[in-house]
C-alpha cells in the first residue's frame, strides 16, 4: 500500500513520512499527495501569526485542547522561524503545547521554514492536506510574523489570528508588515502586562468596529479584538468562539469556497515565482553570460532593465532542461534517495549536474 492509502487509514507514521518527503521536495511525496487530494480540502485551517515570543504556541496549544473537547479532530503545524538555530525553537514550541500533545488525537508537526518568504514553510500547504488525510478537520498553523509580511499564512489559512502583546507599539514594523491587515481575529495576549487595556481600546477602535474592506472574501466580517492571557488559560474560550464564528461566517456567506480557490491559485503563483527565480539562479549565476551582463551593469555600461530582459532569454532554456517528473522518479528508484535537502519542486539529485556550466 502506498503512503496515501495508509494515511487515509489513519497511519500516523506514514503521515509523518509523507510530510518529510514534501519538505524535502521529493517527487514521490508530491505523487502521494496527489492521491490524497480527492479526499481532502474541507478542514478549517487556522493560522496564528505574530511576533516572536508573543505566546502563539501557548495559545495554539490551549485552543487545540478546547477544539478537541468539541470533538474536532485537530492537527497542529508549528513553523520554526530559525532553522539555523538548530532544534531549540522547535522544542520551544513543543514545550508550550505539552497539554495538546498529550491530548488524544492531536497531531503536532514542527517544520523549518527554510527561508521561504513570509515565514511559512513552503511545505505547510501539503502538510495540511496530509493531516486532513489523517482525518483532521481542524488544522492550526503557527507561523512567525517577525517583521515580515506574512501573506503566505494568509494564503494557507481560512482564518488568520494575529497575536501580539500589549507593547506592540514597539513593533511598529508590524503595522507596515500588514500583520494586522491579514488578521481575521486580533488577539492581545499577555494581558497581565502593563498597557494591555489601552492597547485593546486602541486596536478595537482601529480595527474592530468597522466591517473590513480590502481582501476579497472578508467583506462583512467585523474583526474581534480580544484580550487574553494564554499561559493561565484566560480568554481562550472567547478565542475559540471567535474562530468558530468566523468559520460559520465563511460557510454561511458562501465565501469559504471562493476564498479557498483564490488563495490556492495565489499560493501556486507565489510558488511558481519562487521556483523560477531559484532555478534560474541555480543554473545561471555562475555562467559566463550571467557574469558578463552583471559586470556591465556594475560598470554602469548596461542598464538593469536591459540586463534583466537579456537574462530572461535564458528562461526557455531552463525550462527545457527540467526533466519530467516521471523521469526523475525513475532515476530516484535506481539511485535511492539522496541526503540533500530539496529546494525545488520535484527536486532530483541528478538534476544539478549541469549546474553552473552555463551556455
Query: 338: alpha, beta or left, given left = phi > 0 and alpha = psi -120 to 50?
Result: beta
Q: How far is the CB of 167 from ligand GTP (least distance, A)?
A: 12
User: Which CB atom, from 125 or from 189, has the smaller least distance to Mg ion?
Assistant: 189
Instruction: Kindly give the residue spans of alpha helices, DSSP state H, lying in 142-287.
Output: 151-156, 172-177, 179-182, 196-203, 236-253, 255-284
Q: What does the per-residue mask of binding to Mg ion show for 28-67, with x meaning CB under 5 A?
A: ----------------------------xx----------
Q: Which of Mg ion, ligand GTP, none binds 6 (CB below 5-8 Å, type-dependent)?
A: none
44 binds, among ligand GTP, Mg ion, none (CB under 5 to 8 A by kind): none
Cβ-based neighbour number of residue 155 at 10 Å: 23
Kindly state the smallest distance separating residue 118's Cβ from ligand GTP, in Å: 15
Minimum CB distance to ligand GTP smaller for 12 or for 52: 52
Q: How far is the CB of 61 from ligand GTP (least distance, A)?
A: 8
* Residue placing its CB nearer to Mg ion in the complex, 56 or 283: 56
Cross-strand partners of 48: 142, 161
E strands present in the chain: 44-49, 74-80, 107-112, 138-142, 159-164, 185-188, 225-227
The smaller minimum CB distance to ligand GTP, of residues 4 and 225, is found at 225
Q: For residue 99, give the 3-state DSSP assignment.
A: helix
Cβ nearer to Mg ion, comparing 88 with 356: 88
* Cβ–Cβ < 8 Å for 272, 344: no
Least Å from the CB of residue 8 to ligand GTP: 31
User: How far from the centroid of its chain's Cα atoms is residue 107's Cα?
Assistant: 17
Torsion sign, CA atoms 227, 231, 237, 240:
positive
Binding site for ligand GTP (CB under 6 A): 52-58, 89, 92-93, 96, 144, 189-190, 192, 229-231
Residue from 26, 28, 80, 93 that binds Mg ion (CB under 5 A)? Answer: 93
- Residue 54 binds which of Mg ion, ligand GTP, none (CB < 5-8 A, kind-dependent): ligand GTP
| Residue 142, C-alpha cell as written in the block | 503557527
CA distance 335 to 338: 8
Cα–Cα distance, 229 to 290 (Å, whole number) = 54
Binding part of the chain for Mg ion, among 6-14, 61-69, 87-95, 150-158 by CB under 5 A, reads 87-95
Report the C-alpha gap between 199 and 180 in whole angstroms.
13
Shortest CB 78 distance to ligand GTP, Å: 7
Residues in region 286-315 near Mg ion by CB under 5 A: none
- Does position 125 bind Mg ion by CB under 5 A? no
C-alpha cell recorded at residue 231:
499561559
| Cell digits of residue 299 | 560598470
Closest distance between Mg ion and the C-beta of residue 235, in Å? 18
Residues that bind Mg ion (CB under 5 A): 56-57, 93
Amino acid at each position: 500500500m502506498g503512503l496515501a492509502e495508509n494515511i487515509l487509514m489513519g497511519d500516523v507514521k506514514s503521515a509523518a513520512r509523507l510530510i518529510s518527503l514534501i519538505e524535502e521536495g521529493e517527487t514521490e511525496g508530491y505523487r502521494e499527495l496527489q492521491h490524497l487530494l480527492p479526499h481532502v480540502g474541507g478542514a478549517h485551517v487556522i493560522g496564528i501569526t505574530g511576533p516572536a515570543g508573543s505566546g502563539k504556541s501557548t495559545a495554539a496549544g490551549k485552543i487545540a485542547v478546547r477544539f478537541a473537547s468539541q470533538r474536532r479532530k485537530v492537527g497542529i503545524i508549528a513553523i520554526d522561524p530559525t532553522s539555523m538555530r538548530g532544534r531549540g525553537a522547535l522544542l520551544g514550541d513543543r514545550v508550550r503545547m505539552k497539554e495538546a500533545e498529550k491530548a488524544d488525537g492531536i497531531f503536532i508537526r514542527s517544520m523549518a521554514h527554510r527561508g521561504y518568504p513570509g515565514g511559512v514553510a513552503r511545505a505547510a500547504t501539503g502538510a495540511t492536506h496530509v493531516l486532513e488525510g489523517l482525518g483532521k478537520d481542524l488544522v492550526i498553523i503557527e507561523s512567525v510574523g517577525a517583521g515580515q509580511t506574512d501573506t503566505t499564512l494568509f494564503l494557507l489559512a481560512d482564518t488568520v489570528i494575529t497575536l501580539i502583546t500589549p507593547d506592540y507599539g514597539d513593533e511598529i514594523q508590524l503595522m507596515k508588515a500588514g500583520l494586522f491587515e491579514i488578521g481575521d481575529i486580533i488577539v492581545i495576549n499577555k494581558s497581565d502586562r502593563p498597557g494591555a487595556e489601552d492597547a485593546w481600546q486602541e486596536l478595537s477602535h482601529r480595527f474592530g468596529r468597522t466591517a473590513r474592506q480590502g481582501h476579497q472574501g472578508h467583506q462583512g466580517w467585523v474583526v474581534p479584538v480580544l484580550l487574553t492571557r494564554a499561559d493561565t488559560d484566560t480568554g481562550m474560550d472567547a478565542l475559540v468562539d471567535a474562530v468558530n464564528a468566523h468559520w460559520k461566517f465563511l460557510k454561511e456567506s458562501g465565501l469559504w469556497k471562493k476564498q479557498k480557490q483564490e488563495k490556492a491559485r495565489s499560493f501556486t503563483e507565489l510558488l511558481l515565482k519562487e521556483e523560477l527565480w531559484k532555478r534560474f539562479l541555480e543554473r545561471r549565476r555562475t555562467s559566463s553570460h550571467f557574469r558578463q551582463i552583471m559586470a556591465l551593469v556594475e560598470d554602469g555600461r548596461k542598464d538593469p532593465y536591459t540586463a534583466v530582459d537579456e537574462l530572461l532569454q535564458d528562461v526557455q532554456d531552463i525550462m527545457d532542461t527540467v526533466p519530467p517528473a516521471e523521469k526523475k522518479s525513475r532515476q530516484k528508484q535506481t539511485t535511492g534517495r539522496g541526503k540533500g535537502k530539496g529546494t525545488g519542486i520535484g527536486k532530483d539529485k541528478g538534476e544539478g549536474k549541469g549546474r553552473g556550466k552555463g551556455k
